[in-house]
Amino acid sequence: MQIISDIKKTSSLCQKWRDKGESISFVPTMGCLHAGHLSLIKKAQSLADHVVVSIFVNPLQFDNADDLLKYPVTLDEDTLKLADFNVDLVFTPKANAFYPDGENQVKQIDLGSITVLLEGAQRPGHFAGVATVVKHLFEIIRPNVAVFGEKDFQQLMVIKQLVETFPLDVEIIGMPTFREQDGLAMSSRNLRLSENERKKAPAIYQQLKSIKSAINASTNIDTADFVELERRACENLTAVGFVPDYVAIRETDTLSIPENHNNSLVILVAVKLGQIRLIDNIRV
Ligand code: PAF
């Protein structure tokens, strides 16, 4: 396994593989790797000759300086885990090489309406930062395929929109959310929960499951019923100490507000628990 932070060296190693007709799959990460990331890497291994994992805490996608500062960085543990997984290349760029003129000078990508709803409304500029870094990573590595987790459901939609908008020629694969035994979606942020918060956190998934059951049990459900289900879930989460940003029942393909249950739906949630912001979703 090679660990390279230099952009040119990374790009030329990937080019060497491509010249030999060998394919590349790519898993972009911000490090602090957990079993969810490792499941993406396993999938990536089944899809191509070489697996590249990037570890880069991208400053552009943080709308809150404190959140960026506190984002867990565990590079040594991460590279040990990746070596166990036979990853070919770990790309660990430095922010000043990635954004040589400074983050504020970077021209960010605007992918329109999908980036301003839900997470985009709560975290202005977040998806522009994600799209900008992922496009840059794709241009350096030029993978055949890239694997992302469905836990960041809207992010996955943004990435799909990115590759439709620009000629990046990469297939995007989404993988189901990996959960702890008690249902909490795996996230690097879980590490920052206190013991008490960690005990409360599975309530998020319980609320998602209970909305899903209510939708599946109704024969004639409409927008007003969806709004009532969202309201009740927010109330339940608030009662046990969460501060909900949103609980939203949406059409899976567009994230628009559904009028009925004719199309497939997704329920998305974002809450704060103490200082930590958690997101999750479930499909109906
Ligand atoms: O999902 C993440 O970890 C990040 O948003 C990503 C895709 C690596 C871009 O920085």
Q: Please write the tens of the pLDDT for every residue from 119-167.
A: 999 999 999 999 999 999 999 999 999 999 999 999 999 999 999 999 9
Q: Which atom of ligand 1 is nearest to the CA of 29?
A: 8
pLDDT-derived band at 85 (thresholds 50, 70, 90) equals: confident
Structural domains in the chain, sorted by start: 2-175 (3.40.50.620), 188-283 (3.30.1300.10)
Confidence tier at 35 by pLDDT (50, 70, 90): very high
The neighbouring-strand residues paired with 269 are 247, 280
Residue to mutate (ligand 1; options 30, 135, 163; most atoms within 8 A of CB): 30
d(CA 21, CA 159): 26
**Backbone dihedral region for residue 256 (phi beyond 0: left; psi -120 to 50: alpha; all else: beta):** beta
Judged on CB neighbours under 10 Å (0-12, 13-18, 19+), 195 is exposed
* Distance from C-alpha of 1 to C-alpha of 6, rounded to nearest angstrom: 15
Q: Is the CB of 131 under 6 A from ligand 1?
A: no
pLDDT at 72: 86
Measured CA to CA, the distance from residue 187 to residue 177 in angstroms comes to 10
CA 150 to chain CA centroid, Å, is 7
Q: Are 204 and 240 in contact (CB under 8 A)?
A: no
User: Per residue in 236-265, pLDDT tens?
Assistant: 999 999 999 999 999 999 999 999 998 999
For 29, residues 6+ apart whose C-beta sits below 8 A from its C-beta are 37, 53, 54, 55, 56
CA of 181 to the centre of ligand 1 (A): 24
pLDDT at 70 over 90: no
Catalytic pick from 34, 37, 126, 136? Answer: 37
Strands 276-283 and 265-273: antiparallel
CB 182 within 8 A of CB 202: yes
Tell the residue nearest (CA) to atom 1 of ligand 1.
Answer: 29
133 ligand 1 Cβ < 6 A: yes
CA of 30 to the centre of ligand 1 (A): 6
Distance of CA 231 from the midpoint of ligand 1 (Å): 30
Q: Would the pLDDT of 104 be above 90? A: no
Beta carbon of 36 within 6 Å of any ligand 1 atom: no
Whether the CB of 137 sits within 6 Å of ligand 1 = no
Out of 103, 133, 175, give the residue to mutate to test ligand 1, the one with the largest number of ligand atoms within 8 Å of its CB: 133
Sheet holding 89-91, edge to edge: 2-4, 89-91, 50-55, 24-29, 145-149, 171-175
pLDDT at 63: 83
Q: What is the DSSP string of 56-87?
A: ---GGG-S-HHHHHHS---HHHHHHHHHHTT-
What is the pLDDT, as a whole number, of residue 139?
97
Q: How far, in Å, from the CA of 55 to the mean position of ligand 1?
A: 9
Annotated catalytic residue 34: no
Q: How far is the CA of 130 from the centre of ligand 1 (A)?
A: 6
| Six token digits for residue 193 | 């929960």
**Parallel, antiparallel or unpaired: strands 145-149 and 24-29:** parallel
pTM over 0.75: yes
